[in-house]
């Protein structure tokens, strides 16, 4: 069953069609990769799904319910939580406070859940540190942890490995694999094809705002359109 259905979505900015008649389906308990060159419309599509942009046409269904045009906070509370391409933690709040912003009220605070997430992020010893004082990679991990605190049905990660060291990439990849073992549904935008090939069950490829391929990583990496538009001679 599809958790998320994006149907014929189009979005233009002035004369530029950033997303052109794109349809994708994200089945439950699947890790779906979204790849494509810079400017291909990946983040715009995610912004549309998360409610930050309203599509010019098309519909989005989440768990069978129409969410097109809903406000971002409404969509987040329905179960779709996203991270940002450039990390956006609450820099003047502590690590623990950042996690708590995901709760609807203080009554929802669950010490065990917080401990588990901090352990997963390897930030247990930094829970009272101001988020702005963390390294960029740790902020990336914190942002994912904050999203996980919301127990989302669909977690959208926007280029989680961009701008961080190989060590943190390794931690992040292990984290996503752990989430996959817990049957989380994840939509991940990435340029790091090693990460995509390692963790994604299926991959969708965008180019110039259009979907040009969809399939397993092996299938799309042999697609001529994908090779010429994006991955060249990449081998994982």
Segment near another protein (CB under 8 A); pick from 12-20, 58-66, 75-83, 173-181: 75-83
| CB of 140 or CB of 211, closer to another protein | 140
CA distance 220 to 24: 15
Considering only 8, 29, 57, 101, the residue that binds another protein (CB under 8 A) is 101
Q: Which residues does residue 94 pair with via DSSP β-bridges, in sequence order?
A: 130
- Please identify, using beta-carbon distances, which residue of 19 and 50 lies nearer to another protein: 50
Closest CA to 172 of 156, 34, 164: 164
* Residue from 83, 85, 89 nearest 156 by CA: 83
Nearer Cβ to another protein (147/205): 147
Q: Of 7, 10, 25, 90, which lies in the binding site for another protein, with binding defined by CB under 8 A?
A: 90
Q: Side-chain half-sphere of 4: how many Cα atoms within 13 Å?
A: 28
CA 103 vs CA 150, 152, 176, 221: distances in Å: 6, 12, 22, 40
Helix H or strand E encompassing 103:
none
Q: Is 60 in the site for another protein (CB under 8 A)?
A: no
Stretch 133-172: interaction string toward another protein, x if CB under 8 A: -------------xx--x----------------------
Residues near another protein (CB under 8 A): 50, 52, 71-73, 76-77, 81-82, 84, 88-93, 97, 100-106, 146-147, 150
């Amino acid at each position: 069953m599809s958790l998320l259905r994006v149907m014929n979505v189009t979005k233009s900015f002035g004369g530029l069609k950033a997303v052109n008649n794109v349809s994708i389906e994200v089945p439950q308990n699947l890790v779906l990769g979204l790849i494509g060159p810079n400017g291909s419309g990946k983040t715009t599509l995610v912004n549309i799904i998360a409610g930050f942009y309203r599509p010019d046409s098309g519909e989005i269904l989440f768990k069978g319910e129409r969410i097109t045009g809903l406000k971002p906070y409404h969509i987040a509370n329905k179960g779709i939580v996203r991270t940002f391409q450039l990390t956006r933690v609450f820099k003047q709040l502590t690590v623990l406070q950042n996690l708590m912003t995901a709760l609807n009220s203080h009554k929802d605070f669950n010490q065990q859940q917080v401990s588990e997430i901090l352990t997963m992020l390897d930030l247990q010893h930094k829970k009272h540190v101001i988020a702005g004082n963390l390294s960029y990679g740790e902020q990336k991990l914190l942002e994912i942890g904050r999203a996980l605190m919301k127990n989302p049905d669909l977690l959208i990660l926007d280029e989680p490995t961009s701008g961080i060291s190989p060590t943190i990439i390794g931690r992040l990849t292990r984290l996503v694999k752990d989430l996959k073992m817990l049957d989380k549904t994840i939509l991940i935008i990435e340029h790091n094809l090693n990460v995509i090939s390692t963790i994604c069950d299926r991959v969708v490829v965008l180019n110039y705002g259009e979907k040009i391929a969809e399939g397993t990583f092996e299938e799309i990496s042999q697609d001529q359109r994908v090779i010429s538009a994006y991955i060249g001679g990449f081998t994982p």
